């Protein structure tokens, strides 16, 4: 099972999202890892469905100002931790920018549904 599996990924990200939202103050190190992985899901080499899932989870998180404040306090403002807030902003910016560079990506999820097995490992520009 070397390829990501959609139904399992959806459920795992739901659980991770709840853990981050409800228990971030208790699971600081774990949430740092979770958030870093979610940000990596936005990388251009990931399948479009995986990037969409990451966007949904990040949306749930960034609409909560107190959560963003906690991310800054726990990660970005401390030494020897990942700059999570900065990484989220940078990855969202890169994602939006990639949509302007490759506008065909916006409608890609419905197109690539039939040949998703072939497209899994390729960058979006080559699909």
Distance CA 17, CA 109 (A): 23
What DSSP element (H or E) covers 44? Answer: none
- On the question of pLDDT at 114 being above 60, the answer is no
Q: Between these two residues, 115 and 69, which has the higher pLDDT value? A: 69
pLDDT class of 44 with cuts at 50, 70, 90: very high
Q: Which of 73, 63, 80 is nearest to 24 (CA)?
A: 73
The pLDDT, as a whole number, for residue 1 is 52
pLDDT class of 6 with cuts at 50, 70, 90: very high
The pLDDT, as a whole number, for residue 50 is 95
Distance CA 49, CA 41 (A): 10
The pLDDT, as a whole number, for residue 68 is 96
Q: Which residue spans within 35-90 are E strands per DSSP?
A: none
91-100 mean pLDDT? 93
Instruction: Report the SS3 class of residue 100.
Output: helix
| pTM beyond cutoff 0.85 | no
What DSSP element (H or E) covers 25? Answer: none
pLDDT class of 106 with cuts at 50, 70, 90: low
100-118 mean pLDDT? 58
């Amino acid at each position: 099972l070397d390829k990501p599996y959609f139904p399992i990924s959806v459920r795992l990200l739901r659980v991770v999202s709840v853990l981050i939202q409800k228990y971030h103050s208790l699971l600081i190190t774990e949430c740092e890892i979770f958030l870093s992985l979610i940000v990596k899901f936005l990388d251009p080499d990931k399948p479009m469905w995986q990037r969409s899932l990451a966007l949904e989870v990040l949306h749930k998180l960034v609409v909560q100002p107190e959560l963003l404040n906690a991310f800054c306090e726990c990660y970005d403002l401390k030494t020897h931790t990942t700059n999570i807030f900065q990484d989220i902003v940078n990855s969202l910016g890169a994602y939006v920018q990639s949509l302007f560079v490759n506008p065909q990506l916006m409608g890609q999820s419905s197109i690539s549904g039939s040949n998703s097995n072939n497209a899994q490992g390729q960058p979006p520009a080559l699909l």
